[in-house]
Chain A
Amino acid sequence: MSGREERFRALHRGTYADLLRFVERRVPEGEAEDIVSTVYLTAWRRFDDMPSDARPWLFAVARNTMANGARGWLRRRALDVRLAAREPLDTEDNTAAAATRIDLERAWRSLTAADREVLALIAFDGLTTEQAATVLGCRRTTYAMRLTRARQRLRAALDGPAAPTPAITRTEALKERSWTQA
């Protein structure tokens, strides 16, 4: 058993869960596993080139793989991010949290797909600004500027006039997938 193969297995063990989550946030259910496999195929072929911080490198390959997908809805500069499905509400105690979540969703939807992608790399994918810049293929300073602006627009959207908040009931427990709403 070669050391190189063992190191690749270790890379897989250490990154698979994060990579699967990264992809699942951005494509419909059922598409993610194939994309993740493509990323690891590329990673094996380019293993000698891979930087020591492999996770953002893998995410960048995944992002390009998704962006180059044959399906028209993936052909976009900014890869939009899905939203979590709303869960049914069982108690009144959850009402305040649900209202906050609706405000967040409304603000999130008001942003551009590019802003959402910039924010998601930090808020969902847990990357640093340096790593997020690697994923987007830009300089750290460029990413930091885009992030600052996206955060400003998010804050403005949260502080802005609230849209009428619909009453939340169990029957409105939506199972949304918002990647088509760029």
Chain B
Amino acid sequence: MDAGMKDLESLAVLDPSRGREPTDAEWTRSRAFIERTMATSERRPARHRAARWLVVGAATVATGAAAAVIVPAVLPGTAQKAMAAWTAVPTARTGAEVLPQARECADNEVGGRAATVRPDDVVLAEQRGVATLLIMRKSGKIVECLSAGGHDLASMGLIDDGPLPATPPGQVSLETMSSMGNRGSEWSNIVGLVGPGVTGVEVRLDNGRVVQASVKAGWWAAWWPGPEGGDFDHLTVIVHTATTTTSHRPAELP
């Protein structure tokens, strides 16, 4: 106990587990459980650190769950304008409304260039201020693109196009979470899948800011100014269904 907390020592008499030690049977059961766990459960890659977007010269690379990332052209001030106009609540956009941004996304090298783009290639699109976040099909891949003011900010390959991996009802998965930019002017993104019945997803940063994610077509996604996406466990994902609300630290999400 910290020095200066002596007044709390008297509360020890109320502790229901005071002096409690696990029994031999409890130790045996728990040891058996972790042995089974190590034998049968896959470890996840250290996704949250590895997926951090690292600026290398004019380009950006990522490792881990996401395939590749580039920053084709970050013009001076573009990212700053996007962050200044950012909103915690997104506006949903249709594929037709974001066709220019989708074409731009299709034209970068992440996931391979695509010559043609149709509105229904756009799986999810949202607007926050001047920035548009897309999840779209492209050359047999699903990619994420963030753009602002007519310029790509970032793009990331997510998964191969095709049937989405099953996510249990009322639950979400975390496909990738990362940050990019320089210290003091970083921004973060987070993308995952939603199971049936999920009506909304929010991201509550540890500084108290709450970001409403977009949810559509089996995906959820959000971005925000700040470094939390590249840090370990500095946010909480809140999942809503019609009847429940659950909170998850990123490390707990499949």
Among B32-40, B137-145, B155-163, B178-186, the stretch in contact with A: B32-40
Known contacts A16-B30, A17-B22, A61-B251, A47 near B43 by CB under 8 Å = yes
Whether the pair A137, B1 counts as a contact (CB closer than 8 A) is: no
Once the chains bind, are A137 and B9 in contact (CB under 8 Å)?
no
Q: Is A124's CB under 8 angstroms from B11's CB?
A: yes
Contact B251 A101 (CB under 8 A): no
Q: Judge whether B30 and A24 touch: CB under 8 Å.
A: no
Contact assessment for A8 and B1 in the assembled complex, using a CB-CB cutoff below 8 Å? no
Contact A33 B30 (CB under 8 A): yes
CB neighbours of A180 from chain B (8 A): none
- In contact, B20 and A139 (Cβ under 8 angstroms): no
The complex places the Cα of A16 from the Cα of B247 at a distance, in Å, of 24
A82 at the interface (CB under 8 A from B): yes
Task: Assess whether B247 is in contact with A67, with CB atoms less than 8 Å apart.
Answer: yes
Which residues does chain B contribute within 8 Å of A60, judged by CB atoms? 233, 249
CB-based A-B contact count at 8 angstroms:
137
Question: Are B33 and A45 touching (Cβ within 8 A)?
Answer: no
Q: How far, in whole Å, are A151 and B233 apart by their CA atoms in the complex?
A: 28
What residues of chain A lie closer than 8 Å to B245, measured between beta carbons?
A: 75
Tell me the B29-58 residues at the A interface (CB within 8 Å): 29-31, 33-34, 37-38, 41-49
Contact of B12 with A by CB under 8 A? yes
- Residue in chain B with minimal CB distance to A40: B34
Within 8 A of A (CB), among B170-188: none
Cα distance A108–B16 when bound, in Å? 13
Q: Which residues of B contact A123 (CB under 8 A)?
A: 1, 5, 8-9, 11-12, 15
* A24 & B20 in contact (Cβ 8 Å cutoff): yes
Q: Is the CB of B43 within 8 A of A68?
A: no
Note all chain B residues with C-beta closer than 8 A to A64.
247-249, 252
Shortest C-beta distance, B20 to chain A (Å), equals: 6
Partner-A contacts on B (CB < 8 A): 1-2, 5, 7-18, 20-22, 26-27, 29-31, 33-34, 37-38, 41-49, 206-207, 232-233, 236, 244-249, 251-252
Could you write out 14 A-B pairs with CB less than 8 Å apart? A16-B22, A16-B27, A44-B38, A44-B41, A46-B43, A49-B46, A51-B232, A57-B233, A82-B16, A84-B15, A84-B16, A101-B13, A105-B14, A122-B5
